[in-house]
Structures are given as structure tokens and as C-alpha cells.
């Protein structure tokens, strides 16, 4: 009886945990914990600690009738505190002033400041455009460039993977242009296409097309030739082999390339909007930099990050639904 129970426990015991579905699913909990730790450390390092209440009262009395935020900024209050430390007689009647702050707001705004800036951005917009207009303009540029990059790049990559002739034709062009950073071509694209939408979309097309070409070509070359020979032996035509064997096996690589292209296009788009645009999230960052609005700059950066993560998660979900055979041989 004891021996039977021991064998049953050994049969149900997990021997491999690396890559196990439960282990992978548990990563979400650790992601939440990691984000909470980052927010807490951000709050602690950017918050003023130990400033006496008398100094806050002094700030409120600077200009009567205004709130504490309106009458005295945190930076001005800390500047007076530093002056009082050098010469206590400059602020008579106030207690000794000392405080602790790891990072000043001129280096990194606090989470509360960034939240206030984000809320104001969402309610009032910036530079004549609402938040949703900035978002839509950036997203539409990204979608157009990415769409044409996929439409042009995937067929070229498939042709290069299927035919040595097409590989010989396109390979010099791909290998010569692929290493060029898209950001290096921004001045040239402005000269060619101007600062309008056409230049930005074409720059995003240039950023995405080579990634999609390489991904599609790699997907075709990774197809197991045994499957192709088996399909031919069963009487399949070339079109049927392409549709039912090659394309399904190449789709995982194409989706991976698409996810990479989305990230590259986001970075390229923001850089393009920095130099030649009057709207968009990249323009918002550039415009806010001129007025040293670090909280607004960081708000736009966080928004770009959230959008990028959202698009990547959407791609993962679509990949899981559209390519259920991935990783199953």
C-alpha cells in the first residue's frame, strides 16, 4: 500500500518547471509587483522629506488669496530653505530648515506631478490640439507606414525565400539599405517629401519594410522540406503548397517581425515628429522641452510606452488566435 502511494506521488510530481504554463502564468503577478516597486521608489526618491510645516505656512503667505501651489512652487520653497541655511537672519521667525530629496524636480518630476500634467493634458490638450488628436495623428502615421511596410515587404521576403533568382535580385538592395538607421535619413526625407504627412509615412515605411522582408524570408527558409515533399507526394500543386504549407509555417516569423517593426516604427515616428511636425506625441515632447516642462514630457513618454505595450499585447493575442499551431512542430 505504501509503495503504491509513493509511486502515485512520483507520477503526479512535476519534474520540469522551466517553461511550464503555470510558471509562465505566474509572471503576471511578478510584473505587478515590479511595477509597484518602481512606483514606490520613484515616489520616495522625488519627494521632499523633513521640511518643517512652518516653511509651508510661509509659502502660503507669500501671496495672499492664492493656493499653496499657486503662491509658491516647490522649487522656490526649497531655494529659500537653502538660503536660510546659509543665512538664518534672512528669514526671521522661521525655524531651522532642512530637508531630504534624492532627485529634484528639475531632474525627475514626482509621480504626482506627472499625474497632474497627464490630467491637464487629457482635459486641456497642448499646443492647440487635444490629447486624442495628438494620439490619433501619431497612431495614424504609424498605421500607414506599417501597413505599406507589410504590404511591400512580406511579398518581397516570400519571393526571396522561394526563388534564388528573386533572392539575387533583391538581396543587394536589402543588404545595402537595411543597415541604414531611419533617423539618419530624416533630413533627406524632409528635403524629398517636405514636413507634411508624406515624409513621415515614407520614413516609417523605410523603417518597417526591411524588417518584414527579413522576417518573411526567414519564415520561408525555416519551413521543413519534409512537409513540402509530403505535400507534393500527395498531389498538391505549387499554389496549394504555398498556401497550405509554406505560408502557415512562415506566419510565426512574420508576426515576430511585425512586433519588432511596431517598436522600431514608434521610435522612428517620435524622432520624425521631433524635427518636422506641428502635432503628435513626439512634437509634444519637443515643444515641452523648449519650456522645460519635464512633467509633460514624461507624461508623453509614458503614454508612448503604454501604447507600445498595448499594441504588442494585441499582437500576441492575435498571434495566439490566428496561429494556434506555433511551437507545435
pLDDT digits (tens, 9 = 90+) for 47-60: 888 888 888 887 77
pLDDT of 18 reads: 45
Average the pLDDT over 264-291 and give the result: 80
Q: What is the pLDDT of residues 94-153, one digit of tens each?
A: 888 888 888 887 788 888 888 888 888 888 888 888 888 888 888 888 888 889 999 999
Q: What angle do CA 229, 254, 268 make, to 5 degrees?
A: 155
pLDDT of 41 reads: 93
CB of 213 within 8 A of CB of 160?
yes
**3-class state of residue 126 by DSSP:** strand
**HSE-up (13 A, CA, CB side) for residue 50:** 9
Q: What angle do CA 125, 130, 132 make, to 5 degrees?
A: 125
What confidence tier does 256 reach under pLDDT thresholds 50, 70, 90?
A: confident
Contacts of residue 216, defined as CB under 8 A and 6 or more positions apart, other chains included, come to 153, 154, 155, 156, 157, 158, 160, 161, 250, 253, 254, 257
pLDDT of 15 reads: 46
Contacts of residue 272, defined as CB under 8 A and 6 or more positions apart, other chains included, come to 186, 189, 199, 200, 203, 204, 282
Say if residue 64's pLDDT is above 90.
no
Say if residue 218's pLDDT is above 80.
yes
What confidence tier does 71 reach under pLDDT thresholds 50, 70, 90?
A: low
Amino acid at each position: 500500500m505504501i509503495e503504491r502511494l509513493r509511486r502515485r506521488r512520483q507520477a503526479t510530481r512535476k519534474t520540469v518547471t522551466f517553461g511550464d504554463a503555470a510558471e509562465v502564468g505566474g509572471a503576471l503577478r511578478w510584473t505587478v509587483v515590479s511595477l509597484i516597486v518602481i512606483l514606490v521608489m520613484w515616489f520616495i526618491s522625488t519627494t521632499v522629506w523633513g521640511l518643517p510645516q512652518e516653511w509651508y505656512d510661509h509659502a502660503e503667505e507669500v501671496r495672499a488669496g492664492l493656493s499653496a501651489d499657486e503662491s509658491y512652487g516647490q522649487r522656490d520653497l526649497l531655494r529659500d530653505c537653502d538660503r536660510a541655511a546659509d543665512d538664518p537672519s534672512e528669514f526671521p521667525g522661521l525655524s531651522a530648515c532642512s530637508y531630504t530629496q534624492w532627485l529634484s524636480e528639475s531632474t525627475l518630476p514626482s509621480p504626482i506631478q506627472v499625474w497632474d500634467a497627464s490630467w491637464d493634458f487629457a482635459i486641456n490638450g497642448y499646443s492647440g490640439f487635444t490629447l486624442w488628436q495628438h494620439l490619433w495623428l501619431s497612431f495614424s502615421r504609424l498605421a500607414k507606414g506599417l501597413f505599406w511596410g507589410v504590404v511591400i515587404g512580406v511579398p518581397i521576403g516570400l519571393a526571396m525565400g522561394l526563388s534564388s533568382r528573386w533572392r539575387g535580385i533583391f538581396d543587394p538592395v536589402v543588404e545595402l539599405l537595411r543597415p541604414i538607421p531611419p533617423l539618419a535619413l530624416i533630413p533627406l526625407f524632409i528635403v524629398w517629401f517636405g514636413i507634411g504627412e508624406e515624409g513621415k509615412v515614407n520614413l516609417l515605411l523605410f523603417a518597417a519594410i526591411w524588417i518584414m522582408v527579413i522576417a518573411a524570408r526567414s519564415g520561408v527558409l525555416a519551413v521543413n522540406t519534409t512537409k513540402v515533399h509530403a505535400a507534393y507526394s500527395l498531389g498538391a500543386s505549387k499554389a496549394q503548397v504555398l498556401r497550405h504549407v509554406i505560408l502557415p509555417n512562415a506566419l510565426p516569423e512574420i508576426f515576430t517581425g511585425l512586433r519588432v517593426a511596431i517598436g522600431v516604427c514608434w521610435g522612428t515616428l517620435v524622432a520624425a515628429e521631433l524635427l518636422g511636425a506641428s502635432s503628435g506625441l513626439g512634437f509634444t515632447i519637443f515643444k515641452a522641452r523648449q519650456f522645460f516642462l519635464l512633467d509633460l514630457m514624461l507624461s508623453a513618454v509614458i503614454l508612448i510606452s503604454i501604447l507600445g505595450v498595448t499594441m504588442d499585447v494585441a499582437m500576441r493575442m492575435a498571434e495566439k488566435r490566428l496561429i494556434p499551431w506555433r511551437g507545435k512542430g
